[in-house]
Amino acid sequence: MKKEEGKMEKIVSLAKRRGFVYQGSEVWGGLSGMWDFGPLGVTLKNNIKNSWWKKFVDDREDMYGLDAAIIMNSKTWEASGHLKNFTEKLVECSKCNAQFRADQLKENKCAKCGGELKEEQSFNEMFETNVGASKDSSSVAYLRPETAQGIFVNFKNIIDSFHPRLPFGIAQIGKAFRNEINARDFLFRTREFEQMEIEYFFKGEEWEKHFEDWRVSSWEWLNEIGLNKDVVHELDVEDKDRAHYSKKTIDFEYDFPFGRSELFGLAYRTNYDLTNHKLDYLDDREGERFIPHVIEPSFGVDRIVFALLNEAYTEDELGGEERVYLKFKPNLAPVKVAVFPLLKNKPELVAKAREVFEIVRKEIPQTMFDDNGNIGKRYRRQDEIGTPNCITIDFDTLEDDTVTLRDRDTGEQKRIKIEDIVSSISI
Ligand code: GAP
User: At 162, which CATH number?
Assistant: 3.30.930.10
| Nearest atom in ligand 1 to 262's CA | 14
As a whole number, mean pLDDT of residues 83-97 equals 93
Same domain, 204 and 160: yes
Distance 265 CA to ligand 1 centre (A): 8
Distance 409 CA to ligand 1 centre (A): 33
Same domain, 98 and 203: no
Query: Which residue, among 277, 50, 150, 299, has the nearest Cα to 158 in the 3D structure?
Result: 150
Residue 186: inside a domain: yes
Ligand 1, atom 16, residue with closest C-alpha: 300
Same domain, 24 and 43: yes
Phi/psi of residue 339, each to 5°? -115, 130
Same domain, 96 and 58: no
As a whole number, mean pLDDT of residues 3-15 equals 90
Residue 279: inside a domain: yes
What pLDDT is recorded for position 313? 98
Distance 235 CA to ligand 1 centre (A): 15
Residue 92: what residue type? E
What pLDDT is recorded for position 5? 74
Among 34, 190, 193, 273, which is best to mutate for testing ligand 1, by the most ligand atoms less than 8 A from CB?
A: 193
Per-residue pLDDT tens over the stretch 367-387: 999 999 999 999 999 999 999
Q: How far is CA 189 from CA 126, 182, 304, in A?
A: 15, 8, 12
Residue 185: inside a domain: yes
Residue 81: inside a domain: no
Residue 420: inside a domain: yes
Q: How far is CA 225 from CA 273, 359, 384, 385, in A?
A: 31, 27, 19, 17
pTM for the model stands at 0.96
Same domain, 23 and 105: no
Same domain, 187 and 288: yes
DSSP count for the chain of H helices, then E strands? 13, 24
Is the pLDDT at 341 greater than 60? The verdict is yes
Distance 362 CA to ligand 1 centre (A): 37
As a whole number, mean pLDDT of residues 326-340 equals 97
As a whole number, mean pLDDT of residues 133-144 equals 93
Phi/psi of residue 394, each to 5°? -125, -170
Ligand 1, atom 23, residue with closest C-alpha: 189
- Give the contacts of 137 (CB within 8 A, at least 6 positions apart): none
Residue 322: inside a domain: no
Is the pLDDT at 4 greater than 80? The verdict is no
Torsional class of 269: left (φ above 0), alpha (ψ -120 to 50), beta (otherwise): alpha
As a whole number, mean pLDDT of residues 275-280 equals 98
Q: How far is CA 226 from CA 59, 102, 375, in A?
A: 20, 35, 29
What pLDDT is recorded for position 426? 81
Per-residue pLDDT tens over the stretch 149-163: 999 999 999 999 999
Among 178, 298, 301, 304, which is best to mutate for testing ligand 1, by the most ligand atoms less than 8 A from CB?
A: 298
Q: Report how far residue 403's alpha carbon sits from residue 381's, in angstroms, rounded to the nearest whole number.
A: 20
Ligand 1, atom 22, residue with closest C-alpha: 189
What pLDDT is recorded for position 3? 58
Same domain, 117 and 141: no
As a whole number, mean pLDDT of residues 41-49 equals 98
What pLDDT is recorded for position 104? 84
Per-residue pLDDT tens over the stretch 189-216: 999 999 999 999 999 999 999 999 999 9
pLDDT tier at 126, thresholds 50, 70, 90: very high
Residue 385: inside a domain: yes
Across the chain, what does the average pLDDT equal? 96
| Ligand 1 pocket, CB under 6 A | 146, 148, 178, 180, 189-190, 193, 195, 197, 262, 264-265, 296, 298, 300, 302-303
Domain range for 354 is: 335-424
Per-residue pLDDT tens over the stretch 281-316: 999 999 999 999 999 999 999 999 999 999 999 999
* E strands present in 281-357: 281-283, 288-290, 293-300, 313-318, 321-326, 337-341
Same domain, 346 and 225: no
Report which of residues 30 and 1 the model is more confident about: 30
CATH number at residue 401: 3.40.50.800
Same domain, 92 and 53: no
Is the pLDDT at 2 greater than 60? The verdict is no
pLDDT tier at 246, thresholds 50, 70, 90: very high
Task: For strands 389-393 and 337-341, give the pairing.
Answer: parallel
Domains identified in the chain, total number:
3
Residue 8, classed as helix, strand or coil, is helix
Same domain, 201 and 236: yes
Residue 258, classed as helix, strand or coil, is coil
Residue 294: what residue type? V
3-state helix, strand, coil in the chain (%, to 5): 35, 30, 35
Residue 316: inside a domain: no
As a whole number, mean pLDDT of residues 248-258 equals 97
> By percentage, how much of the chain surpasses pLDDT 90?
94
Same domain, 176 and 302: yes
Q: Report how far residue 372's alpha carbon sits from residue 367's, in angstroms, rounded to the nearest whole number.
A: 15
The least confident of 93-102, 163-172, 385-394 is 93-102
- Give the contacts of 356 (CB within 8 A, at least 6 positions apart): 339, 391, 393, 397, 403, 418, 421
Distance 249 CA to ligand 1 centre (A): 13
Same domain, 134 and 119: no
Distance 261 CA to ligand 1 centre (A): 11
Distance 300 CA to ligand 1 centre (A): 6
CB 218 within 8 A of CB 267: no
pLDDT tier at 356, thresholds 50, 70, 90: very high
